[in-house]
Amino acid sequence: MTSRSKPKFTLTHALFIFYCLFIVWTVLFKNTFSFHELSDMIRPRSLNLIPFYYDCEISVRFHIQEVLMNAVLFFPFGVYLKMLDIPVRKSILYGFLFSLALELGQLAFALGACDITDLITNTAGTAAGVCLHLLILRLFKNQTKINKIFCILALTATILLGLLILMLYLANN
């Protein structure tokens, strides 16, 4: 019987948790700062199970931007999971499951539309993040250094994002 040591909590873990909370805040709570604002966004439940199907009322350009933003939003998810040494298939599965939970949350709480396209693009964004990490690892062959560089970039982005959120909060109050 082998004894496995308890994994230590690292800066990468903390940044990943903050990032996941940011995604929940963005997707479910639409970047609002109060429940009053959120209650204004509650609308009839919407479920779209046809991939890349859109109403004609909104422009094609908007839908392309939404697809790209979903992929970009989940891109770091794949990078983080690889930094945490999660295998490729599990990383993509976790991206899918996290996205599914968010989509079902939108449906359950009537906060936005539950859309199969979002599930596809979020999972694709996760897969792209995994691929980027693997590509950079293949090029530079030093996972420790690569993870440190990604961690520094993530910390910088998190600090900037935190400052932006703080400025938005102060501007709204």
pLDDT at residue 98, as a whole number: 98
**Tens digits of pLDDT across the chain (173 residues):** 455 566 678 999 999 999 999 999 888 887 776 666 666 666 777 888 888 887 766 777 878 888 999 999 999 999 999 999 999 999 999 999 999 999 999 998 888 888 999 999 999 999 999 999 999 999 999 989 999 999 999 999 999 988 988 888 888 77
pLDDT at residue 121, as a whole number: 97
pLDDT at residue 122, as a whole number: 97
Kind plus residue range of the DSSP H or E element containing 47? strand 46-48
Kind plus residue range of the DSSP H or E element containing 48? strand 46-48
Q: Is the pTM of this model over 0.95?
A: no
pLDDT at residue 32, as a whole number: 75
pLDDT at residue 64, as a whole number: 87
Q: CA of 10: how far to CAs of 7, 17, 37, 84, 148, in Å? A: 9, 11, 35, 9, 11
Residue from 106, 119, 99, 116 nearest 43 by CA: 106
Residue 71, burial from CB neighbour count under 10 angstroms (0-12, 13-18, 19+): buried
